[in-house]
Structure 1
């Protein structure tokens, strides 16, 4: 059986970031473990590099035009490339879910919809409304750069959300999304054979990346305001211990938020450039503590932070917040504080270093829990039941 995973943005700033270590690639890898043939189909902007993955065939369709109606030409090209007996749409967007629905109507193929974010949360969530004047409506529809010419305008996102019941199966990765949209819970799995702490020497990793002189807090992701990196930096101000550093890996592909952090807290920050997914375990090995200080916001509630299982799989002490599913995922194998609380973060950082043997024991348990519940193998077990249900 062949499955086509349809992705709206396969560029290096979309699903192709982190060398393919994000949700659609994890789903594809888990499906491959079931001996299914998997292809990934999606758009790439003309000025962006496409995603590259040696184990998953990727068909990228150039998005020659990023506005309606010209975009429909590219959409037709993508529709012709979807050849799987089952279609797996990633995100309820017109560029993925919308086209997958069209393919379903054309061919009768079964469609699974994966929802890994509440897309409207980026636009105000339930508060987003569109009540234009006649002139505003005309501008949005008719101007060359009018809002309604953008394929992923929130109006279209809301429309796509209203059609999620048309999916044969919905999959999500946390309770917030499952309560909102229903469906089957499929957690983000980690390649625990790649992320295996016995394969890496922490001291050597710290030496390789110029970190030997410091105690390292690591944020292996793209900083954004809701991810709480500022709270960690404020905690470092409170601690004021000169050998502490926050290492940010990869940085943000979205905006200049990284520079804002550096301008204010540069003395605490060390940046490591974006790196292939295969190199991430070596970088994570250099950390003393992995920090995931999510703030209490709709965007954070709807996420399963991939960097959480980076730390768990690599048996690192993980310090995070009581937000979304994080308390359940981490449980008693890590450290949790209230969101938006630099003082609690500072206290926990101090506690971890002062009671290192206890922290190390927790980290070993975190690795065990990750292998059991948050591995690619665990994902594959759940997906096998999803696929079997479609085949009945």
Structure 2
């Protein structure tokens, strides 16, 4: 291999967060190791999901449905220039493209699995057994289901090809048990997310939160994320200065508005903020809440909100789902999933001795730096790539 190894990160859809965030974290870790990195991906929407650093080498190709997607694949194959191809997610538009590239270039492929894609379609219960008539419709009609590059039929095929990758990285134990590979948990930029750089009182004042005890959820509400359980807990505690601050809101549907209609007295909604502003926003929290419910989807996930709170030395209140207890260790507060009564008790416990809770937060930051920082991520990636040499 060349002295300066180049890695091509392939993202199936740069128009959404579905792989974009993971790719950006991997890019930071690979840059720390001295690798040259390019990001390539399809745009199935009108624009990029987020801001890309100016120094990033980024190449996009317009995405489309089959059969036109074959032309899109041809275009992106001509752009791939890395010595190692790193596909984000077992999607046809990332891993499938990487395997096609491998056929003629012989360049090694790493597959990163940061979610169980099939879980969104029923997991192992999903099967495709169409009649001949239905199969013809799905293939031939302009809006036929099999014309979608991300149809679960193709996802299931990609899962069967995981062993064709030269290396696999995952970020939760659920995914490791299912697909094997090396655990590379999401890393946090603990230099940016450093509580020493921010003043909580000033942050609360800046975002209109000075009068409240703030439980913060820095993410998009979805039913499986358990915010209803926190809101029911606030009903039980019934102290008007306690507020659930939702940062960003849902880009998927009107679920956050449904929450507000029922529990509006407990909710304060803040807009989306750029990544470099988020530490200042999180600084305003008294508690960061990650109340995941126990579902096939959540068991496979590593909620980035955990390390938002940990890196900022905040008390983190979460549920015993997936890897969350392992990630927090003894540095956070845990409740059973879908249990508002336990969540209420933990909220009261934290505010009864906020000094102790903040000491736990300091321990959480130390744990985050050791195990869940960009530097920790880079250290593991170094050994993964060394095996390909």
Q: TM-score range by the shorter chain?
A: over 0.9
Residue of structure 2 in register with 1:232 after alignment: 230
- Per the alignment, residue 151 of structure 1 pairs with 149
Displacement, 1:13? 4.9
Partner residue of 1:112? 110
Q: 1:49 Cα deviation (Å)?
A: 3.6
Q: Match of 1:33?
A: 32
1:59 match: secondary structure:
strand
Q: CA deviation at 1:12?
A: 4.7
Asked whether the equivalents of residues 15 and 51 of structure 1 are also in contact (C-alpha less than 8 Å), the reply is: no
Residue of structure 2 in register with 1:19 after alignment:
none
**TM-score (normalised: structure 1):** 0.96
Does the 8 Å contact 2:19/2:88 carry over to 1? no
Query: TM-score, normalised to structure 2's length?
Result: 0.97
- Verify the 8 A CA contact 2:15 2:45 in the aligned structure 1: no
Structure 2 gaps of 5+ residues are none
Q: Deviations over 1:127-146 (max 9, x none)?
A: 11112222222211111101
**Aligned-pair CA distance for 1:173:** 0.4
> Cα offset for 1:376?
0.4
Which of these residues, 180, 194, 197, is aligned with residue 199 of structure 1?
Answer: 197
Deviation string for 1:81-103 (max 9, x for gaps)? 11100000000000100001000
Counterpart for residue 61 of structure 2: 61
Aligned mates of 2:282, 2:50 — CA distance in 1: 23
Within the candidate set 334, 337, 341, 1:336 is matched to 334
1:50, 1:60 within 8 Å by CA — same for their partners in 2? no
How many pairs does the alignment contain?
384
C-alpha contact (below 8 Å) 1:13/1:254 kept by paired residues? no
Aligned residue for 1:181? Answer: 179
Equivalent-residue separation in structure 2 for 1:233 and 1:312 (angstroms) = 22
1:123 CA drift (Å): 0.3
SS, match of residue 276 in structure 2:
helix
- Residue 366 of structure 1: which of 358, 364, 371 is its match? 364
Deviation at 1:323, TM superposition (A): 0.5
Unaligned runs of 5+ in 1: 17-21
| 1:273 aligned onto 2:277 | no
> How far did 1:76 drift?
1.1
Per the alignment, do residues 12 and 139 of structure 1 end up closer, same or farther by CA in structure 2, a change over 3 Å counting?
closer
- How far apart are the structure 1 equivalents of 2:142 and 2:98? 27
1:97 equivalent in structure 2? 95
Deviation at 1:265, TM superposition (A): 1.5
